[in-house]
Structure 1
Amino acid sequence: MLDIAQELDRWMRDGRDFAVATVVTVGGSAPRPPGAALAVDTDGTVIGSVSGGCVEGAVYDLCVQALQDGEPVRERFGYSDEDAFAVGLTCGGVIDVLVTPVHAGDPLFTVGLAAAARGEAVALARVVRGPAELLGRGLLVRPDGSYQSGLDGRPELERTAAAQARALLDVGRTGSVELSEDGSHCPGGLTLFVESSVPAPRMIVFGAVDFAAALVRAGKFLGYRVTVCDARPVFATRSRFPDADEIVVDWPHRYLRHTATDERTVLCVLTHDAKFDIPLLAEALRLHVAFVGAMGSRRTHEDRNRRLREVGLSERELARLRSPIGLDLGGRTPEETALSIAAEIVAVRNGGSGVPLTGSAAPIHRDRDKLVLGVS
């Protein structure tokens, strides 16, 4: 639901009632992850998607019904061996969808959608299995642990649900939590689905070169908040990087030492100059970030590794460096190079191999909960 928060927030502010269908569990080769949502307003306007097209028509009908009767419902869609062309996921997956009617002005959803639309960190937890009177109801949790509840004055359940939702919010995860009705852990009693909305992860591009301009555009397309950093003010300009969220004129290693990073941050070093690269990578490879990549030839890579060893980096730290940066796509232009870098970032983030799917026996959709967290 929070993945379409900006559109739903506008609907709320316009006073439009709607029903929202949210993917709450996924099995097999389902096309969209938990948290994917589709919403329908009272005029029949549709936004979002839960399956990429497989079951959208049936989910639309469920939303219309929920708007008419005001009742939430949970429905399962999956592949049928008997009739592959019936309503279901012919790709072989299974999804459970929670459909919830939402009235304009509902305090829980109004606050939650507005916060997510502003890019604030917030978690929305809803009951997806349990007593019928609680289905679709939940609470809103903020990073400091404070919460706004719609769980009908059940304090023990509220406190435990808020603690579990905050734990997922702290790591930016969306997923399910099993609780008992009195709030103690007891799988089988009650299931909460927790959607975490966190600020966009950072991509920091070091080196204000032509390749960087194309990579900035690719990073924005992937949902990153993109910063360009270069020590040379003549190159690090808004006119050269109109799509960047931030342009910083500073020595790269000094900027990296003082800026905020986390386990979702992506660092791309395109400076291709030892006086910038070595002090920068010495900082970067000791940070807990998702990706560190550096541009350069294989000869440059070997020389760079030698220099990094000389300044004290261990083999384990050096092994984190993706260099030469990017997947082998055979491209040469800045746009093709940016595509190869973006493809490697996506592969690392999702545990992909980077090899063609044609002829591969590996699953197309992997279990994201077991992988490094990135943009969700």
Structure 2
Amino acid sequence: MRELLSELRDWHTSGTPFALATVVAVRGSAPRDPGAVMAVSADGTVAGSVSGGCVESDVCEVASEVLATGGPQLRTYGISDEDALGVGLTCGGTLDVLVQPCTTEADRDRLRELVDLVAAGEPVAVATVVAPPASMGARRVVLAGRVSGSLGDEGLDAAVTDDARGLLAQGATASHRYGAHGERRMQDVTVFVQTFAPAPRMLVFGAIDHAAATARIGSFLGYRVTVCDARPAFATRQRFPTADEVVCAWPHTYLASTAVDARTVVCVLTHDPKFDVPLLAEALRTPAAYIGVMGSRRTHADRIARLREAGVDEEGLARLASPVGLDLGARTPEETAVSIAAEIVQHRWGGTGRPLSELTGTIHHTRQPEA
């Protein structure tokens, strides 16, 4: 939904009725994950995507029906060998799309509140009943300190609220099944919980040209990017206009004082022992998802020896992606940034890093569990 904030605000302001289509489940290979959103206004304007083009035309037709009737619909899209060119996913997977109307003032106000929370970076989870049809569309909004809305039963509300807060802490989106009163071992009710956690962080150390390119691609990938360097002449806003923040401080000191979680990626581009060794020793004490380090193989070997002398064990050393990046033959700072970004994506999803043309089987990998 983050990419649709501007359009949704405009439609809210103008009072434009629209339908919101959300991917609520994926089975097999599919181009978009649960939580992907597409909005269709009453005049047929489309924003966002639920499948990368495979089923959008049919979803637009469903949106028109939803706008006309005022009731939500759940559609399942798959593919069969007999109908490979029909409405469905050419990648061979199956996805469920929930299409809901936003036509009344109450609908628009609820969505505007959500849009404002997401835009402000507030952690928020939205739990929506997907099945059974009788209660489809019932919604409960869960924040750190409060909740609003109800799924129709006090016990169900309590169970879903607990699970929503757990998913929010992980930055994960998922569907859960419950009994009608929130029982854990029953499957009468399916609830889709979409979380909007603050953007994950990318910490880039070393204010060099490669850092500027890495900061740009980090922002493109949806990270909140911080560039840090101890040299005032290099750590300037002018040099890093796309970064969310630029910090002038000793890297290891800054890292020890800032928040790092299991979604954070750390890119160390300084390749100077006086910065690298204390910084990496500190980074390896954190739960960071990825720690990439720039430098030649000779620099890497020297760095490893220094880290061992500093007391870093072999398990910690094995966490380092060094030399940083995938082997793309990169030369320029921009190409190197693509190489680094490719390794981050590969690490997150568990891909092989090899050309898809050389592989068989599924193209889209299942999300790796958070550390």
Residue 277 (structure 2) pairs with residue 278 (structure 1): yes
Q: Secondary structure at the match of 2:347?
A: helix
Shift of 1:213: 0.9
Residue aligning to 2:143: 142
- Matched residues in 2 for 1:44 and 1:10: separation? 15
Unaligned runs of 5+ in 2: none
Residue aligning to 1:360: 359
Shift of 1:99: 0.8
Shift of 1:136: 1.2
- Matched residues in 1 for 2:247 and 2:301: separation? 29
Say whether the 8 Å CA contact 1:21–1:37 is kept in structure 2: yes
Residue aligning to 1:120: 122
For normalisation by structure 1, the TM-score amounts to: 0.94
Q: Secondary structure at the match of 1:244?
A: coil
- Matched residues in 1 for 2:2 and 2:177: separation? 21
- Matched residues in 1 for 2:6 and 2:26: separation? 24
List per-residue Cα deviations over 1:189-242 (Å, max 9, x = no partner).
101000000111111110011111111111111111111100000111112111
- Matched residues in 2 for 1:15 and 1:118: separation? 22
**318-327 or 156-165: bigger deviation:** 156-165
Residue 187 (structure 2) pairs with residue 188 (structure 1): yes
Residue aligning to 2:106: 105
The 5-angstrom pairing of residues 1-376 of structure 1 reads 1=1, 4-103=4-103, 104-106=105-107, 107-130=109-132, 132-144=133-145, 146-152=146-152, 154-368=153-367, 370-372=368-370
Unaligned runs of 5+ in 1: none
Q: Secondary structure at the match of 2:344?
A: helix
- Matched residues in 1 for 2:220 and 2:68: separation? 37
Shift of 1:3: 5.9
Shift of 1:6: 4.5
- Matched residues in 2 for 1:6 and 1:261: separation? 29
Identity of aligned residues (%): 54
Shift of 1:257: 0.3
Gap change, CA 1:325 and 1:2, over 3 Å in 2 = closer
1:84 counterpart letter in structure 2 = A
Q: Secondary structure at the match of 2:21?
A: strand
List per-residue Cα deviations over 1:22-41 (Å, max 9, x = no partner).
11111122111111111111
Say whether the 8 Å CA contact 1:119–1:200 is kept in structure 2: yes
Shift of 1:44: 1.5
Q: Secondary structure at the match of 1:170?
A: helix
Gap change, CA 1:6 and 1:126, over 3 Å in 2 = farther
1:110 counterpart letter in structure 2 = R
2:179 counterpart letter in structure 1 = S
Aligned residues: 369
Q: What stretches of structure 1 move > 4 A for 4+ residues in a row?
A: none
Shift of 1:133: 3.0
